[in-house]
A and B are shown apart, each in its own frame.
Chain A
Amino acid sequence: MGAIEFKGKTFGVDEDGFIDSFDNWCTEWVDYVKDSEGIPELNEEHWKVIHVLQDYYRKHGIAPMVRILTKVTGYKLKYIYELFPSGPGKGACKMAGLPKPTGCV
């Protein structure tokens, strides 16, 4: 476990740079990931993706399949990649405070 300091907050992170606990997620974490992922500004679409991921995670304890994410948000996968260049499983999950998905994604 490592630690990240950002805007006066300290976050525990795992080896993959994901936050150590969903409970520690906050908007400063989003700002931190935004910068490290090279996303200039967050818009409503980014937030919609984040909220859908979080709602599903609260219910199921994992990230949703991409097809569920695209159906519920109404965004095509290509657009989600435009929003989160490193993809839904890496950038979006990381920003939403979810653990890294446990697959070869």
Chain B
Amino acid sequence: MGALAPQKMRGDVREYLNKFDLNLCLTCGTCSNGCPVTGTPGMEGWDTRKVIRMLAFGMLDEVVDSKFPWVCTGCGRCAHACPMGIDIVAILAHMKHLRARDKVPGILHKGVENVLKTGNNMAVPKEDYLFLMADMSTEMADEDCPGFYVPIDKPGADILFFPNSKEVFADNDDMKWWWKIFYAARENWTIPLENWEAVDWGLFTGNTEATKILAQRKIDMMKRLQIKRMIMPDCGGGSYGCRKGMKLCSLDDPENHTDYIYLYDYLKEIIATGRIKLDKSRNAGKIFTWHDSCKHGRELERNFGKGYYDEPRWIIQQCVDQFVDMEPSRSGNYCCGAGGGMWPMPYEQESAYHGRFKVNQIKNAGANVVVMGCSNCHDQIMKRLPKFYPEDCHYEVKYIWQLVAETLVLDPWTDDQVEAAQAEAKAQWERLGVDLENMEL
């Protein structure tokens, strides 16, 4: 092999990277030291510092063709710590963007194609979606929420909520926690009939155009149905992608500005204003900790000026008596290892290796229950990490809205409220052509 010489980059890439001025890099290695990818078996010693040096040298193809940008979870510890403020996360996301679409790892690009074509990543047909919502509405109403139903495309609703396709497809019962909260708060809420996907795999694949389209759809839906506020999807990628996409849409047209609320602000609001009541005694005897998801904390703060650190801790402490923080936490927290698409990507070993710090953090905190607000983190910490570190993972995992729902004291609806809701439900299912009794599966 001959001596390496600096290479000339494609004009568009050079223009993009010029935004970052890689000459600022001091080569100090703070990024690599803070990055859980460093040392990953099979990565042949690649690390963040080296990748930035490679790009400064013009070695674009080597980086784009490598696995490195894909095993980066976008957690942002590197950029958070970089003394020269280089936005390494954005650079690596752009390396994903430059990968040919037929070379995107695993199923990710297929999911993007599905969501653009069908409105959800998994191409769940509309009739199946409606069947599920109707069937589960009946189930919830029969269980302990008389009058409950899932409002779909309800004009003038106060809250728009986006289902996550993994819950529509598989983890159906996980949707009930939010529903129970809306029921208890007597919320005027709705979910979309079309384009309901909460998740944004455009973000995971560096597909900026898809991210923008998904955000525009949400904006259009808010306008069409004249809804007051949408709850940002819980999924870290979903909410962060939506914020990024909404920013692009608003730059195109200021009329695209849309009112949203993060789930933490929403839960805090309904607890603080007394719209829901909680009974802490249900959670007595257990120690709870909070996992700061990167896209709800550090990365949100770094990119949009506000990370959710205090709000989730306040919410948890309305539900439990014993709370401990992990070390480090807040903006210094370690990623679970599933960000950036690493949960569905075919790099399970690398993802689990990334999560090794998380396992230690939880163990050291001595918590019985790990609470979180992102569905990717949830599955990683609940399913993948115990599979790879069975000796060290002895904890329960809960979504923060699950904790709230399980701590709720339900104030029963009046007979009039139940009857009115039942009439609304009947009219809705008729309008949508859903007849559970005569449905052919």
Contacts and interface: CB of A to CB of B under 8 A. Distances in A.
Interface of A: 14-16, 60-68, 71-72, 87-89, 99-105
Interface in B100-137: 105-107, 110-111, 114, 121-125, 128, 131-132, 135-136
B346 A104 contact: no
Q: Which of A60, A67, A103 has the most CB of B within 10 A?
A: A103
A89 B131 CA distance: 19
A104 B164 contact: yes
A74 B136 CA distance: 16
A101 B122 CA distance: 7
Contact of B122 (A16, A67, A72, A102): A102
Interface of B: 105-107, 110-111, 114, 121-125, 128, 131-132, 135-136, 164-166, 168-172, 199, 235, 343-344, 346, 375-376, 379, 441
Nearest to B132: A67
A66 B128 contact: no
A102 B123 contact: yes
Given A16-B106, A62-B124, A104 B132 contact: no
Contacts of B168: 65
Contacts, number: 78
Contact of A102 (B121, B125, B170, B235): B121
Given A65-B132, A67-B135, A103 B125 contact: no
28 contacts: A16-B106, A16-B107, A16-B346, A61-B123, A62-B122, A62-B124, A63-B169, A65-B128, A65-B172, A66-B169, A67-B136, A67-B172, A71-B441, A87-B170, A88-B170, A89-B170, A99-B107, A100-B106, A102-B114, A102-B123, A103-B121, A103-B122, A103-B170, A103-B344, A104-B121, A104-B164, A104-B165, A104-B375
Contacts of A99: 107
Contacts of B172: 65-67
B113 to A, nearest CB: 9
A68 B344 contact: no
A105 B375 CA distance: 10
Contacts of B165: 103-104
A66 B174 CA distance: 13
A17 B345 CA distance: 12
Nearest to B346: A15
A62 B111 CA distance: 12
Contacts of B135: 67
Q: Is the interface of A mostly helix, strand, loop or mixed?
A: loop
Given A15-B105, A15-B106, A103 B132 contact: no
Nearest to B164: A104
A72 B375 CA distance: 28
A103 B125 CA distance: 14
Given A66-B169, A87-B170, A103 B105 contact: no
Contact of A103 (B136, B166, B346, B441): B166
Contacts of A62: 122-124
Contacts of A89: 169-170
A66 B170 contact: yes
Q: Which of B106, B135, B375, B379 has the most CB of A within 10 A?
A: B106
Nearest to A56: B441
B344 A72 contact: no
Contacts of B376: 104
B128 A104 contact: no
A104 B110 contact: no
Q: Which 3 A-B pairs have the closest CB atoms?
A: A102-B111, A15-B346, A103-B122
Given A16-B346, A67-B132, A103 B169 contact: yes
Contact of B107 (A64, A68, A100): A100
A105 B169 contact: yes
Contacts of B169: 63, 65-66, 89, 101, 103, 105
A67 to B, nearest CB: 6
Contact of B128 (A61, A68, A87, A103): A68
Nearest to B199: A104
A64 B166 CA distance: 12
Given A64-B128, A103-B111, 9 more contacts: A60-B125, A66-B169, A68-B441, A101-B122, A102-B111, A103-B121, A103-B170, A104-B165, A104-B375
